[in-house]
Structure 1
Amino acid sequence: MTAIAIVDDDELVRRALSRLVSSLSFQAIAYSSAEAFLLEVKDRLPFAALIDLHLPGMTGLELLEELRRRNIQLRVIVITGSEQEGTRARCLQAGAAVFLNKPVSRDALGDAIGPLGELTP
């Protein structure tokens, strides 16, 4: 089963997104921080990652930049509950494939992940 990583510091959001990802027939792997995700990503490279923009410690944008610096190729979907001006553009410029506002609907997430055969990171 294809894995989708979820990086969000809010346990309730991680659980909700995990259920959403599972409902789309993907395996959800949840992380409470960017740092925890980075510890495992090379050994357990998911197809895609849902990354919360506002994480404590390393932010979602910083994580996105670190993935690029490490040349880790995966589809990144940035999610946020509070978008600030220019944030969407900075995330897309840093390599995010999609930028979504919370709450994320099943349809929006399905569209963001897309059919596996048609996607490139």
Structure 2
Amino acid sequence: MGDTGAVVAIVDDDELVRRALCRLVLSLTYRPVGFSSGEEFLASLGELEPSCAVLDLHMPGLQGLEVLVRVRLRGMNLPVIIITALDQPGMREKCFEAGAAAYLLKPLERSMFSNAIQVAIAG
């Protein structure tokens, strides 16, 4: 299934969601690393080199789209999957324009989530 060396960063302010996503990523044989905020994730990028990042769109502080933009401004080509429970008109397009690899709606379906990660990591 997954590449056991591939690190998937999970950025979600909701601890229960973050833990559930980490368990799901682990079951797909990737190595999950969880972050409770966009700021915490961005601060880790000097040390952590994830193969893919999963960003919640709606978080306090830096939201998922803002984190994605900052990743791109750093010149990083990190594949980013945006997830959200609240789909807003035009938001999917904004995320793709900013360089998102995928835009998924919560609740996440396992096979769709797995496929999005595989495609993102494969490039």
Q: Does TM, normalized by the shorter one, top 0.5?
A: yes
Unpaired segments ≥5 residues, structure 2: none
Point out 4+ residue stretches in structure 1 off by more than 3 angstroms. Answer: none
Unpaired segments ≥5 residues, structure 1: none
Q: If the length of structure 2 is used for normalisation, what is the TM-score?
A: 0.92
Q: Secondary structure at the match of 2:87?
A: coil
Separation in structure 2 between the aligned mates of residue 58 and residue 115 of structure 1, nearest angstrom: 26
One-letter identity of the residue aligned with 2:30: F
Is 1:88 the counterpart of 2:92? The answer is yes
Q: If the length of structure 1 is used for normalisation, what is the TM-score?
A: 0.94
| Residue equivalent to 2:12 | 8
How far has the Cα of 1:72 moved from its partner?
1.6
Separation in structure 1 between the aligned mates of residue 119 and residue 98 of structure 2, nearest angstrom: 23
One-letter identity of the residue aligned with 2:65: L
Deviations 1:65-120 (A, max 9, x none): 0000011221100000001000000000000000000011210111101168x722
| Residue equivalent to 1:103 | 107
| Residue equivalent to 1:75 | 79
Separation in structure 2 between the aligned mates of residue 105 and residue 89 of structure 1, nearest angstrom: 21
Q: How many pairs align?
A: 119
Q: Give the percent of matched residue pairs that are identical in Structure 1 and Structure 2.
A: 46
Separation in structure 1 between the aligned mates of residue 27 and residue 109 of structure 2, nearest angstrom: 12
